[in-house]
Structure 1
Amino acid sequence: MMKQKNTINNTRRSFVVIGIITFMFFVLFFRLGYLMIVKKSFLVAKAESQTSYQQTIAPKRGSILDTNGDLLATSGDVYKVSLDLEEVHNYALIKGGKDTERIKETLDDISSNFAQILGKDKDEVRKFLEQTNKEGAYLRGIPLARKVEKDKIDKIKKLRDSKKYNFVLIENDTNRYYPNNNFLAQVLGGVDLDGKGVFGLEQYYNKDLTGVPGISITEVDRKSQKLPYSDQVFTQAINGKDLTTTIDSRIQYVAEKIAEKAMVDKKPKSVRIIVTNPKTGEILAMVNKPDFNPNEPNKGVTDSKQFAQITRNGVVSDAFEPGSTFKIVTMSAALEEGKTFRDDQFFDPGYAIVDGHRIDCWKHDGHGAENLVDLLKNSCNPGFIELGRRVGKEKMNEYISKFGFGKTTGIDFPGETTGIVKSTEKVSNMDLATISFGQTDAASMVQLIGAINAILNNGVYTTPHFLKNLSEVDANGNRKIVSTYEEKNSRQVISQKTANTMAGFLEETVSKGSGKLAYLDGYGVAGKTGTAEKANIGGKGYDPKNVVASFIGGAPYNDPKISLLIAIDSPEGVEHMGGEVAAPLAHDLFQQIFNAIGFDPSKK
């Protein structure tokens, strides 16, 4: 009986043991299945991250060139040095063991070595090594230095190898360089620390200039040292495309010097110039003064507001009431609609009455009897009020739109303003009168140059633009053009007959009228001056002493090579009108441009 009881107990004990073993087997089986199936991707990735080293290979940013291939912006090969701070402290622990003083000495030694090579303060580097995240863990792979030259990188590599610094990460970096300093500053723009375009052409064409990063993945040991004979995954970086612009450095240089002289002589708030080819819309020069050095964009800048102001390309981004330069649109509309003709007769008593309100001409005693051309030559406000009345607000706004006002031109540049055009239903008789001679509506310099280009180009509109082409260099060093500029906004704004008539009128305005100080014998300069009074603060009325003096024109008028617009904001002195201030600058600019490009109208 006793023996039978012991046998039963042994059998039960065996079942319990077998049950426990079976249970543990199933637990291990399901755990293994969970790790092999459910967690496979995670564990594989973790294992690879611990046994491989991945490095991004930064592409070289494309260069920006002028139309003749001269360098305007380029990138030099520099490097970024980053440290894995967790590994820095692991290294110190291994070196120092449990001796806290030796650990401290090791960290001090690391700081001193990097500070000496990089020209940094030792204490700053030591402080850098102690950076942690919110959980208190040391940061990994953070930059210690950017834009490091190759000679210093060679020293760091030598230090890394000799000291077995497995925590050092060296990556390609780029340093943007503008060889001509302030030259074309607001147009070229700039990049941030990561080489990304943040304003100007650098921003607009950032995607093309940037390129595609490459990648290098190498197997490493537990000390992050590269394993011999290991396979390497390598994808070559694709460098950015080179941007060839329409800018002609010879013309840009001349325009820069003219603007600099005006800043000294007239002490205005700003001087802005744009020069184009009226037949194609190609921008040959663009100047904003005051300017800055894009190699040191923050030099002398105290805050972000000042930075935004000094780097702003006002030729594209700012709108102002254009004044008398806008009269070219009013007269073009009146001619095209058959509301006037060359020998049409007018009389200016010195003012016009609109809905009971008196609007004075700039010449208070009036111009007396005039024909149509005289209105333009004399820049007679009452005469243009009459032309505007004949055209009517609906047709006037129709031509304003055709000429490109009230909307973006499509220029390849960020931050373009649409200007201000009052909607037809809100235009009163008084508004129509002031719009006709260049007040109420506001326009950018790009819009205005587009308008006169249409007149000089047989009535056909061309978009002002910077792009000539984008190109790349292949593996054999051969340059290949991958895309060129395509005109998308071309349209017939006015007939060729009206355009050619207007071009002739504008030539007479310079040779015999208010633009005579821009006259250049034998070159057929056509143009119109403007003196736009700026609105008083608060928007009530205008300040006759606070003006934008301007000149817009082209030459030769019957076969134009260039067109230009000069705007001088708030010039000091008694002489402040466009015919007094801007026209003489236009004369010098035309003359020096034609000398620079070797154009002589007497030689066919």
Structure 2
Amino acid sequence: MKQRKIINNTKRSFVVIGIITFLFAILFFRLGFLMIVRKNFLVAKAESQSSYQQTIMPKRGSILDTNGQQLAVSGDVYKLSLDLLEVHNYADTKSRKTGDKPQEIVKDIADKFADILGKDKKEVEDFMEKENDQGVYPRGLPLARKIEKNQIDKIKELRDKNSYNFVIIENDTNRYYPNNNFLAQVLGGVDLDGKGLFGLEQYYNKDLTGVPGVSISQVDRKSRDLPYSNQIYTQPVNGKDLTTTINSRIQYACEEIASKTMQSTKAESVRIIVTNPRNGEILAMVNKPDYDPNNPSKGVKDSKQFSEVTRNGVVSDAFEPGSTFKLVTMSAALQEGKVNNDYHFFDPGYALVNGQRINCWKLEGHGAENLVDLLKNSCNPGFIDLGKKVGKEKMNEYISNFGFGKLSGIDFPGETPGIVKSTDQISPVDLATISFGQTDAASMVQLIGAINTVFNDGVYTTPHFMKNLSEVDADGNRKIVSTYEEKNSRQVLSKNIANEVAGFLQDTVSTGSGKLAYVEGYGIGGKTGTAQKPKKDGKGYDDKKFIASFIGGAPYNDPKVSLLITIDSPEGEHMGGEVAAPVAHDLFQEIFKIMNIQPTVK
């Protein structure tokens, strides 16, 4: 009996020892798993719970005009987020001390923030009760952005006075456009995070943005900074400043004249581009109607309307240029030696092409004309003859060399390549209409590039906005880090031919169809245009919708400035020579004053 008892006790001991050994084995296995396999994860989790990382946003670079005047700047503002889980923990703890209901405490907190921020109290109260998909109060949910310093100071005072450990304050940035609608579609805009969405803000976003910094500090369980803890701090690198080629005084003159033209003609839009024809620098660019980039959504009903109002049509829209294109046909015919000053033509008022009658705008015809008369009178049948002499292959070659049918390379997003009919699809009738500015479509940027080629001794230069990018060092000294580089320069015409065409353009303004743009003594060279607009269904042309235009520069023999004006669908008079040329006259006069260009032509 005693022996059986000893055996049972021995078995029981082995069982207990076995269980203990098994438990220790599980424990050691678990410790090994945590220390070896899960080490990195647990260390990272511990650090995340004992440290607070804050992104420090860099200051977005400014956009400046050519003289350093600010066009777009960033101001230092703040972002307020709340740890909603800690808000409710705070309310529960305080409730036990004061006897107040937690809901009432949370409501009181919400109302205090609403008063400081100028927000609707009900909106902030609802914010305090937000839960994530798992039904948990989120930690670090943004309550307000773009908060000014005076407001954030009040929030800090409230936080410190009441020991609100759930308040998270971070640096933020806000974009300001000091001149409101001024240059709106060119400057573009940014989103809430300061990322460029359109315009120069988008194209140069990488340069303007900078590099964020970071601050990492040790915190206690209530997310308060621990005293004497080591803080890791990386200074943000602010964005570069973009200095543009825009001359604000010329831009202002263009804005004023475009607005007056919109009112007087009741047009759908008025657009203007002004450049330096020698180097392609864009001195001004206007799109009317426009908007205020400080509040781009004001009065906008939907995304389609928003896209319409913010789009820079000077760059993004293509249209059949009409007679302004005739300078290309004239240049090609002269450069190819198909015509010279001995050329003569008789215009009966129409041309027959493959049995199809194509009328001149002057139905009774211009009669006998020499070469310069074709341009002065804007004679369609005469240019049909020039186009036929050049031929479709060579014509398309010059069209391409002048920059049509492809991207110009302008430093701006959303550029249209335009529409150029391929050579193998050009019929004799197509060649005829192309020669006087129909069938193919071009942007205003492409057209200004073409006339600049004529004024620049036959050398093409790319229209562009960038002058340079610069940054300010720690000592406050400005340093230029890069300047604009021309990449598309090419000789399209010989200098002699280019100068000859420039002279023809001067005759066109002084005694021809562009005479209402004439300013005595300045040698303005230019060409008017009246382009029919295609019907919206794409079948034929709308006989009530026209784009009146004028393109030109001065002085024709030593050009300092070039410009292009388009007036879309003016009411009443619609001919470019009657509608656009007078606008060009007024604008030239203003620009001559601003640039201090003196009369040189007797």
TM-score (norm 1): 0.98
Report the count of equivalent residues: 601
Q: Deviations over 1:509-532 (max 9, x none)?
A: 111111111111111100010000
Residue 571 of structure 2 is aligned to residue 585 of structure 1: no
Superposition deviation, residue 99 in structure 1: 9.1
Superposition deviation, residue 68 in structure 1: 0.4
**Runs of 5+ in structure 2 lacking a partner?**
none
Q: Deviations over 1:47-70 (max 9, x none)?
A: 111111111111111110000001
Q: Distance in 1 between matches of 2:110 and 2:19?
A: 57
Q: Distance in 1 between matches of 2:32 and 2:390?
A: 85
Asked if the contact 1:54–1:218 (Cα under 8 Å) also holds between the matched residues in 2, the reply is yes
TM-score (norm 2): 0.98
Further displaced range: 394-403 or 118-127: 118-127
Amino acid in structure 1 at the alignment position of 2:12: R
Superposition deviation, residue 119 in structure 1: 1.4
Asked if the contact 1:95–1:102 (Cα under 8 Å) also holds between the matched residues in 2, the reply is no
Q: Distance in 2 between matches of 1:9 and 1:546?
A: 111
Q: Distance in 2 between matches of 1:520 and 1:599?
A: 12
Further displaced range: 77-86 or 440-449: 77-86
Q: Distance in 1 between matches of 2:348 and 2:370?
A: 14
Amino acid in structure 2 at the alignment position of 1:242: D
Identity among equivalent pairs (%): 75
Q: Deviations over 1:243-275 (max 9, x none)?
A: 100000011011111111111111110100000
Q: Distance in 1 between matches of 2:510 and 2:121?
A: 71
Superposition deviation, residue 3 in structure 1: 4.2
1:164-563 maps to which residues of 2 (within 5 A)? 164-563=163-562
Q: Deviations over 1:290-332 (max 9, x none)?
A: 1111112111112211111111110000000000000011111
Asked if the contact 1:316–1:446 (Cα under 8 Å) also holds between the matched residues in 2, the reply is yes
Q: Distance in 2 between matches of 1:164 and 1:554?
A: 68
Asked if the contact 1:281–1:463 (Cα under 8 Å) also holds between the matched residues in 2, the reply is yes
Superposition deviation, residue 458 in structure 1: 0.7
Superposition deviation, residue 133 in structure 1: 1.4
Asked if the contact 2:349–2:364 (Cα under 8 Å) also holds between the matched residues in 1, the reply is yes
Asked if the contact 2:523–2:600 (Cα under 8 Å) also holds between the matched residues in 1, the reply is no
Q: Distance in 2 between matches of 1:14 and 1:144?
A: 64
Q: Which residue of 2 aligns with 1:162?
A: 161
Amino acid in structure 2 at the alignment position of 1:83: L
The residue matched to 1:95 in structure 2 has which SS? helix
Superposition deviation, residue 6 in structure 1: 3.7
Asked if the contact 2:448–2:562 (Cα under 8 Å) also holds between the matched residues in 1, the reply is yes
Runs of 4 or more consecutive aligned structure 1 residues displaced over 4 Å after TM superposition: 98-101
Q: Which residue of 2 aligns with 1:599?
A: 597
Superposition deviation, residue 7 in structure 1: 3.7
Superposition deviation, residue 10 in structure 1: 3.4
Superposition deviation, residue 121 in structure 1: 2.0
The residue matched to 2:101 in structure 1 has which SS? helix
Superposition deviation, residue 536 in structure 1: 2.5
Amino acid in structure 1 at the alignment position of 2:231: Q
Superposition deviation, residue 11 in structure 1: 3.2
Q: Distance in 1 between matches of 2:139 and 2:203?
A: 34
The residue matched to 1:442 in structure 2 has which SS? coil
The residue matched to 1:76 in structure 2 has which SS? strand
Superposition deviation, residue 117 in structure 1: 1.1
Q: Distance in 2 between matches of 1:281 and 1:390?
A: 31
Asked if the contact 2:59–2:239 (Cα under 8 Å) also holds between the matched residues in 1, the reply is yes
Superposition deviation, residue 495 in structure 1: 1.3
Further displaced range: 369-378 or 6-15: 6-15
Q: Distance in 2 between matches of 1:379 and 1:119?
A: 63
Superposition deviation, residue 191 in structure 1: 1.1
Q: Distance in 2 between matches of 1:535 and 1:152?
A: 55
Superposition deviation, residue 555 in structure 1: 0.5
The residue matched to 1:215 in structure 2 has which SS? strand
Further displaced range: 394-403 or 130-139: 130-139
Superposition deviation, residue 483 in structure 1: 0.8
Q: Which residue of 1 aligns with 2:96?
A: 97
Q: Distance in 1 between matches of 2:577 and 2:114?
A: 61
